[in-house]
Amino acid sequence: MLGGYEAWPVGSKQEEAAAAPVGIVGVVGPAPEQQDRRLVSTKSGQRLQPGTASEEEVFERAYRLLYSHIWEASRDVANLEPEFSHQELARRVAKYFYKAARAPELLAMPWEQAARQFVDHAMQGYSTAYSERPWFFELELGQTVCAGLWELLRSSRADPCRNSQAMERVVIARYESSMDTLILEKAMWDATMATFPDQAVGPKVYKALLRVRAAALEKAMPAGARDCKAGRGGKGRMLSDRRRQEALEKVENFLKEWMESAMSRAWQAVDHSDSLITEVSVLRLFQSLVAPFGEDHPFSCVPADLTEAIGRPPHDWPFLRKAVRAMFASWRRVAPGNPKRRKKGAAAASAASAASPAFAAFHGCGNGNNGELPPLGASALTARAAAAAVVKQEVKDESGGGADG
pLDDT per residue, tens digit, the chain (405 aa), is 333 333 343 333 333 333 333 333 333 334 433 333 333 333 333 333 444 457 788 888 889 989 999 999 999 999 999 999 999 999 999 999 999 998 888 888 889 999 999 999 999 999 999 999 999 999 999 988 898 888 888 877 777 888 889 999 999 999 999 999 999 999 999 999 999 999 999 999 999 999 999 999 999 887 555 544 433 333 344 557 788 888 899 999 999 999 999 999 999 999 988 899 999 999 999 999 999 999 888 899 999 989 988 888 999 999 999 999 999 999 988 765 554 443 443 333 333 333 333 323 323 333 333 333 333 333 333 333 433 443 344 434 444 444 443
Give the angle subtended at the CA of 264 by the CAs of 261 and 267, to the nearest 5°: 150
Distance in angstroms (rounded) separating the CA atoms of residues 392 and 269 = 30
What gap in Å lies between CA 193 and CA 197, rounded to an integer?
5
Backbone φ and ψ for 295, nearest 5 degrees, come out as -65, -30
Counting every residue written for the chain, the total comes to 405
Q: At what angle do helices 142-153 and 86-101 cross, to 10 degrees?
A: 40
pLDDT in the model for residue 45: 35
Q: Which pLDDT value is given to residue 225?
A: 57
Distance between CA atoms of 327 and 377, rounded to whole angstroms? 9
Burial 9-42 (b: 16+ CB within 10 A, else e): eeeeeeeeeeebbeebeebeeeebeebeeebbbe
d(CA 89, CA 80): 11
Its sign, for the CA torsion 170, 173, 176, 181, is: negative
Query: H-type helices in 335-403, by residue range?
Result: 339-343, 347-355, 357-363, 380-398
Query: Across the strands, what pairs with 93?
Result: none
Q: What is the pLDDT of residue 369?
A: 38
pLDDT for the residue 321: 96
Nearest CA to 208 out of 275, 276, 261 is that of 261
What is each CA distance from 401 to 252, 348, 350, 352, 394, in whole angstroms? Answer: 47, 16, 21, 19, 10
Please return the burial class of 240, using the count of CB atoms within 10 Å of its CB with bins 0-12, 13-18 and 19+.
exposed
Specify whether the CB–CB gap between 353 and 362 falls below 8 A.
yes
Q: CA–CA separation, 72 vs 18, rounded Å?
A: 20
Q: 10 Å Cβ neighbour count for 265?
A: 21
CA 385 distance to own-chain centroid: 38
28-33 LR contacts (CB < 8 Å, sep 24+): 28/87, 28/91, 29/87, 31/71, 31/72, 32/67, 32/68, 32/69, 32/71, 32/72
Q: Check if the beta carbon of residue 371 is closer than 8 Å to that of residue 364.
A: yes
- In sign, the C-alpha dihedral spanning 392, 393, 394, 399 is positive
- Supply the DSSP string of 5-74, one letter for each residue: BS---SS-------PPPTT--S-SSS-GGGS--SSB-TTT-PBPPTT-S-HHHHHHHHHHHHHHHHHHHT
For residue 323, the tally of other CB atoms under 10 A from its CB is 20
Residue 48 confidence (pLDDT): 35
